[in-house]
Amino acid sequence: MNSLYTSGVRQTNSIQADLERLRDGDVSASLLGQISASLAAMHRTIDDYDSMAKREIIKAKQEKAQMRVQKFRTDYSELHTQFDRLKAEATAQKEADQRAELISSSGTPYSPSDARRRFQNTPSTSQLHPGLRPESQVSESPFRGVSPQPGFGSREQHALDEHTFIQNTENRLDEFLAQGRQVLDNLVDQRNMLKGTQRRLLDAANTLGLSRDVIGWIERRSTQDMYIFAAGAVFTFFCFYLIWRYLG
């Protein structure tokens, strides 16, 4: 039970360090997945520690373990709340930055040379995507005044939709990574549990073998003692007979 308590303290410190990195601006997918997996592992550790605390025989140790479990659950709830809040803030900030960058890049004015180059390299209307085709042919000559672009709103909407799709895909990948790490941790825990069970079975087998040897040795010793007692009894009665026969 002490090993589980030490593991829980170590996991709490590790999650706090990862949350500090998240506050400092590290919003990588690997860090988010690592924090999610650490929280899941901490939850399993708390459940195991609670189960062992309930099976404790000594009342004082059981009460102490229950207090530790309560503290672990409080820390877990606070850490999980902080992680959700920081993750939401990081996601909102990232979306705001990308939206601002998209709007600023779409509203950047062109110089006459850039406009002429764009006019020369612009593909024909038939080669454009149907959603990006303008309703009417608009000349982009730098010598004409600024004319409205009918397809600008649709292009911006398509860009925003694409950004939303990419963001959702990234979130899904983070969830898959967290689930994969959780499955890996479960497999590691099961492996350790099976190794412990195998060790206990081997110890029991060794103990059983030793017990059989001891029992056999005791049985042989008992048989020898019985033979010695019988021989001694016969010899004693024979001595009594001789004493009675010749000295009586």
- 3-state per-residue secondary structure call for the chain: CHHHHHHHHHHHHHHHHHHHHHHCCCCCHHHHHHHHHHHHHHHHHHHHHHHHHHCCCCHHHHHHHHHHHHHHHHHHHHHHHHHHHHHHHHHHHHHHHHHHHHHHHHCCCCCHHHHHHHHHHCCCHHHCCHHHCCCCCCCCCCCCCCCCCCCHHHHHHHHHHHHHHHHHHHHHHHHHHHHHHHHHHHHHHHHHHHHHHHHHHHHHHHHHHHHHHHHHHHHHHHHHHHHHHHHHHHHHHHHHHHHHHHHC
Q: What is the mean pLDDT of residues 214-226?
A: 82
Domain of 86, in residue numbers:
1-95
Q: Has residue 149 got a pLDDT over 70?
A: no
Does 163 map to a domain? no
Q: Has residue 83 got a pLDDT over 60?
A: yes
Contact call for residues 40 and 107 (beta carbons, < 8 A)? no
> Which of 42, 73, 95 is the last residue in one of the domains?
95
- The string of pLDDT tens digits covering residues 35-52 is 888 888 888 888 888 888
Does 137 map to a domain? no
Does 133 map to a domain? no
- Biggest alpha carbon distance in the chain? 157
> Which of 75, 95, 115 is the last residue in one of the domains?
95
Contact call for residues 28 and 79 (beta carbons, < 8 A)? no
What CATH number has the domain bearing residue 90?
1.20.58
Mean pLDDT of the chain: 75
pLDDT for the residue numbered 188: 80
Does 140 map to a domain? no
Least confident of 39-48, 136-145, 238-247: 136-145
Does 45 map to a domain? yes
Does 36 map to a domain? yes
pLDDT for the residue numbered 152: 52
% pLDDT > 70, the chain: 77
Number of domains in the chain: 2
Q: Could you give the CA distance from residue 246 to residue 248 in angstroms, rounded to a whole number?
A: 6
Q: Tell me which of 49 and 105 has the higher pLDDT.
A: 49
Least confident of 46-50, 149-153, 170-174, 210-214: 149-153
> Which of 95, 114, 130 is the last residue in one of the domains?
95
Whole-number Cα distances in Å, 216 to 36, 171, 204, 208, 212: 57, 67, 18, 12, 6
Q: Could you give the CA distance from residue 54 to residue 47 in angstroms, rounded to a whole number?
A: 11
Which two three-digit tokens encode residue 241? 């007979």
- The string of pLDDT tens digits covering residues 158-202 is 778 787 888 788 878 877 777 777 778 778 878 888 888 878 877
Does 104 map to a domain? no
pTM for the model stands at 0.44
Chain position carrying tokens 């672990």: 72
Does 185 map to a domain? no
- The string of pLDDT tens digits covering residues 190-200 is 888 888 887 88
